[in-house]
Amino acid sequence: MELTLSIPALLFPAISLTMLAYNARYLAIAGLIRQLHKQFEETEASPLKKQIHSLRKRLGIIKNMQASAIVSFLLAAVTMFLIYVELMIWANVIFGISLVFLMISLVLSLIEVQLSTKALGIQLSNMEK
């Protein structure tokens, strides 16, 4: 397959939208952490400690999701430069690595969504009691 300038350029909007979605998840988690911090200072309840542990884990996953997406975005830009200077072998290698980082980011996103859904399920079951 011949790698042209338009192929890595197609990743730019996809990665940008992905990063926006990840940032929205981060901001939501940050808001929840601030809210739980206030509750924790008032009550120091054990269920809050479990939620804090879960949120810490999710925050780490989101950080790695964002980092992987940024690396993918950067490597797509490097690929475009390599195509521009006609270093096609390196362009193909770097573009492949860029796709791997994008896939890592998406897998981490899937894991984080699963953890988020599990946490919401636990909260719903606590409210039903």
Nearest CA-CA partner of 75 in 101, 36, 108: 101
Q: Which region among 29-33, 81-85, 105-109 has the lowest average model confidence (pLDDT)?
A: 29-33
- What's the mean pLDDT when you consider all of the chain? 84
Residues 5-62: tens digit of each pLDDT = 788 787 778 877 888 888 888 888 888 777 777 776 677 666 667 777 888 888 899 9
Domain extents for the chain? 6-124
pLDDT above 70: percentage of residues in the chain: 87
Map residue 3 onto helix, strand or coil: coil
Whole-prediction pTM: 0.77
| 3-state helix/strand/coil string of 111-126 | HHHHHHHHHHHHHHHH
